[in-house]
Chains A and B, each alone.
Chain A
Amino acid sequence: MDFSEEIRSKAKELLESGTVDCVIGYERATDGVGARPLFVYQPNDIDRLIFDQTCTHNLTKYLLNRKDKATAIVVKPCDSRAINLLINESQIQRDKVSIIGVVCPGVVKAGLDNTSGELQDTCRMCQQHTPVLYDFLVGELGLEPDVPDTYPDVTGMEDKSAGERRAFWEEQFSRCIRCYACRQVCPGCYCLECFVERLDPTWVGIRIAPGENEVWNTMRAFHLAGRCIDCNECERVCPVNIPLSLLNRKLGKEVEELFKFQAGIDAETPMPFSTFDKEEKLGISE
């Protein structure tokens, strides 16, 4: 799949008409194989834009750096959910963003080129091949997911004993170097002062050690419960291969079962954990 021409054509139109000051899309990375984000401010950079199955990045985080500026952005379906999240949480304004949504069959594994056909694990489980929100659509509608089980990775883990799961996660968190790339890339993580930066009180501190790593990773996952839009960026960027998506998707599965809610499908439905509804029961084991 290669939609580079369509993206360039739409970007050119939006820039030259003055509708936007900047188009956030993708270009080829220095290895000649993968992609990287590209900010286009001038029409003469339009030809650098590409779109194919190597375009894995979720670009929506960058919208938070351009809150008061008119921006066009290229989004895959998972990315488009982040835009709904950010609108719902009053972080960006709908009328400042021109959304170029792309119908996405999946992104290939890191290091492989567009022709390889070998999809990332997360894309194999994807339920959403069409963007949930867009101003312009690139690609043909009608691509349906053929994955019956939405959380095979999570149920696989749930089947393990508590002891096995604890040992697994202790091993994973021991490798964490607290680079915070997971937080920095995540569109849901936008607190001006993250809880790890607090000194008074110190929730986590700066020490890089298994106990602190566990608190960091699990608390971040809880802050994303009911908010994570499942773009897998956190896991992709982690330099020590911690399966962060598994944690976030576990909580996503719980929220879906309890509240029949998935983040980012629209921008209006009240979010479960930022809504207080007197009618809700507060039982712990029902």
Chain B
Amino acid sequence: MSEFISKQNLLTWLGQLIGERNLVAPTRVDDLLLFRKIDRVEDIVFDFDNTTLSPKEWFFPSSETLFYVDRKDGQTELMPAAIEKETAIFGIRPCDAQGMTMNDYPFLEEPADDLYRQHRDITALIGLACITACPECFCTSMGGGPHDTANVDILLTEVTDGYIVQVLTDKGKALLPDNLLATADVSSPLAPVLSEIPSEGIAEKMRQAFDEPFWDRLADRCIHCNICSYVCPTCYCFDVRDYTDKERIERVRSWESCQSPGFTRIAGGHDPRSTKGSRLRQRFSHKLLYFPNQFGALGCIGCGRCVRACPVNIDIREIIQDVQQLGVKSEA
């Protein structure tokens, strides 16, 4: 027996959530699917693979004001930005939720990033288990799974006429409308089977392959845009700049990518990662070697967005396979 919510009751519940807090869910924007704040339940898309951009922008926005400084009458006052309204994200996939847990490692490590912590505290995750998988998905090779309950507050799994409801945290429990749930004798469908990527031992193989010309050759076709980092749920590099508008100064942080030329260039002109190969190697080393070294988990959660979005088909699955093979070659 499982907790169950009918499709109709789910719509009612989501309508209630719209009334009491920010509800963020996948919705169509032109021909893209993006997580946006929802005003009407009719705008929510339920049948989809995954969104073009990850939901990380609801915790780590593409641009965010850190604080304001007002200068009046010789006085300087500093006002930190604050987030207030409770939010629920509906329709987050288990891989993206795992991505948020990965982001917690750097952001919440002491001293914690205050704005990120506020976003995380006020947001509940209502996950949607994956019934099918995109061709590019490989979460099961990266420590996750299409029906994974580890990183969400509630997980819904679609069955006939409704969804199995699994409540996983107190935050999830507080969100639930008891009178809309039922129990039903349904079992969860089998999780889709994904292609396997040989991620076992990849950190050590990445270490061994560090000085290989492989990275320069791969970087030949990289155009060093920011697409991979921006669509990725676990990329978190940011830039910080001040803006002045009359007497008010605003310090803003925005997404950035280690792929951009000039990412490591310091005043005076010196740039330790001036070559394309060193920058490309940095991104994959961060995901597959440094992040596991620092935090004990792989930085990539296998959502496949970068694979779909890269204009020149730099494919992390292929890279993992090639790096594993490089190790074999050098032993031989």
Do these two chains interact?
yes
Give the interface of A toward B (CB within 8 A): 29-31, 34, 36-39, 57, 61-62, 65, 171, 175, 177-181, 183-185, 197, 199, 202, 205-209, 233, 236-237, 239-241
Residue on B with the closest CB to A30?
A: B315
- The one of A39, A184, A197 in contact with B217, judged by C-beta atoms closer than 8 angstroms, is A39
Measured CB to CB, the residues of B under 8 A from A are 29-32, 34, 52-53, 62-63, 135, 217, 220-221, 223-227, 230-231, 239, 241, 243, 252, 254-257, 260, 262, 276, 307, 309, 311-313, 315, 317-318
B63-A237 in contact (CB<8A): no
Whether the pair A208, B31 counts as a contact (CB closer than 8 A) is no
**Residues of B with C-beta under 8 A to A197:** 262
A76 to B61, CA, bound (A): 40
Let me know if A239 and B241 touch, CB within 8 A. Answer: no
Contact of A207 among B254, B276, B312, B317 (CB under 8 A): B254
Interface Cβ pair total, 8 Å cutoff: 101
14 further A-B pairs in the complex, CB-CB below 8 A; given A175-B32, A233-B311: A30-B313, A30-B315, A31-B135, A34-B313, A36-B312, A39-B217, A61-B223, A177-B255, A179-B225, A179-B226, A183-B225, A184-B224, A184-B225, A185-B311
What residue in chain B is nearest A32 (Cβ atoms)? B135
Chain B proximity of A167: nearest CB distance (Å): 13
Q: B241 — which chain A residues lie within 8 A by C-beta? A: 199, 202, 205-207
In the bound assembly, the distance between CA atoms of A197 and B221 in angstroms comes to 23
Write the nearest CB–CB distance from A31 to chain B, whole angstroms. 7
CB-CB nearest 9 A-B residue pairs = A181-B225, A36-B313, A237-B311, A37-B221, A179-B226, A208-B62, A184-B223, A184-B225, A206-B254
Which of B30, B32, B230, B313 interacts with A179 by CB under 8 Å?
A: B230
Query: B220 to A39, Cβ gap below 8 A?
Result: yes
- Establish whether residues A180 and B260, one from each chain, have CB atoms under 8 Å apart when the complex forms: yes
A181: chain B residues within 8 A (beta carbon): 223, 225-227, 311
How far in angstroms is the closest Cβ of chain B from A178?
7
Selected A-B contacts with CB under 8 Å, 15 pairs: A31-B313, A38-B221, A39-B220, A178-B254, A181-B223, A181-B226, A183-B225, A184-B223, A184-B225, A202-B241, A208-B254, A236-B311, A239-B230, A240-B52, A241-B32
